[in-house]
Chain A
Amino acid sequence: MGGETHTIRREGEVPEFWRKDNRLGGTNKPYKVNVVVSDQFSTGLKVLVVDDDVTRLRILEQMLRYHVTTCSQATIALNILREKKDCFDIVLSDARVPGMIDYKLLEHVGLETDLPIIMMSADGRTGAFVRIEALKNIWQYVVRKITL
């Protein structure tokens, strides 16, 4: 894992993320799209990670090996994104982040930016813990379906 590029192993799974699309008549509701991403991306990818669990945050920081900015409060994350709009390529967030109710962060980011967001296990029943093997390849991580 010391290399400079990460190869995406698709293994039949299509990555999913939320994205705002202006062409749909400016709908405010984020929706799920399936996209095909390029096979390689450099470690220059800039990720904003939002999670209220500091232990998980530290693990993600170590795992991602990209230019990572970590944040434990949704309101702060949002401010960061507003101030430094072009500084991030992707947002990785736990759905239950303090400062906002449930999926508000997702909604705000969807409205105000074009950034893809990957939401981490928001399922209250299984428990939100980091699945390192899955996250070894960020694009393969399964995004839980969110009903807004």
Chain B
Amino acid sequence: MERTQQHRQVAHMRQSLFDQGLLDEQFVQLEELQDDANPNFVEEVVTLFYRDSARLVLNIDQALDKTPLDFSKLDSYMHQFKGSASSIGAKKVKGECTLFREYCKAGNGEGCMKTFQQLKKDYAVLRKKLETYFQLARQVGPVETACRRK
């Protein structure tokens, strides 16, 4: 009984990430790639993303500190970051990336900085939520949240 309760908790937690607009379909695609040979594939990819993107975040922060702002460089960094974030299905973060790039094109430094502050917050929140989710999911054991469809 307790097991089912926990399964429901995990499923609910997962669903809320979508409902809150934090994740999109890409995340589901990742879940579908998970198999017996790679049972923690999604967690592995998310971990990889956060580890790899840390340096991009740093680069952007440093670039935003310079005067005058090099918008083309900022845009280039963000292009890479967006690509990475998209590949794990980070919907909200991806949206902020797009906004940032628009500010870059408009040469709006203020807009870039504000957007990036928000982006970093959401990036951190997503990380925390996913860590919690993965941890719980591992404790509970395999849940049929996504199955490989033909």
Contact = CB atoms under 8 A, between A and B. Distances in A.
A and B are partners in one complex rather than unrelated chains: yes
Interface of A: 1-2, 52-56, 58-59, 62-63, 124, 127-130, 132-133
B88 A62 contact: no
Contact of B84 (A56, A132, A133): A56
Interface stretch (B2-10, B38-46, B60-68, B135-143): B38-46
Interface stretch (B12-20, B75-83, B107-115, B124-132): B75-83
A132 B79 CA distance: 19
A59 B87 contact: yes
B57 to A, nearest CB: 14
Contact of A55 (B29, B33, B38, B87): B87
Contacts of B29: 132-133
B48 A55 contact: yes
A119 to B, nearest CB: 14
B30 A58 contact: no
B79 A127 contact: yes
A130 B84 CA distance: 9
Given A129-B83, A132-B29, A55 B41 contact: no
A53 B84 contact: yes
Contacts of B80: 52-53
Given A53-B87, A55-B84, A128-B79, A62 B52 contact: no
Contacts of A59: 30, 33, 45, 87
A109 B25 CA distance: 34
Contacts of B82: 127, 129
A129 B87 contact: yes
Given A58-B45, A59-B30, A127-B79, 16 more contacts: A53-B52, A53-B80, A53-B83, A55-B49, A55-B52, A55-B53, A55-B84, A55-B88, A56-B87, A59-B33, A62-B33, A124-B79, A128-B79, A129-B86, A130-B26, A132-B33
A58 B88 CA distance: 11
Contact of B48 (A58, A128, A132): A58
A62 B41 contact: yes
7 contacts: A1-B150, A55-B49, A58-B44, A130-B87, A132-B26, A132-B29, A132-B33
Nearest to B44: A58
A133 to B, nearest CB: 7
Contacts of B30: 59, 132
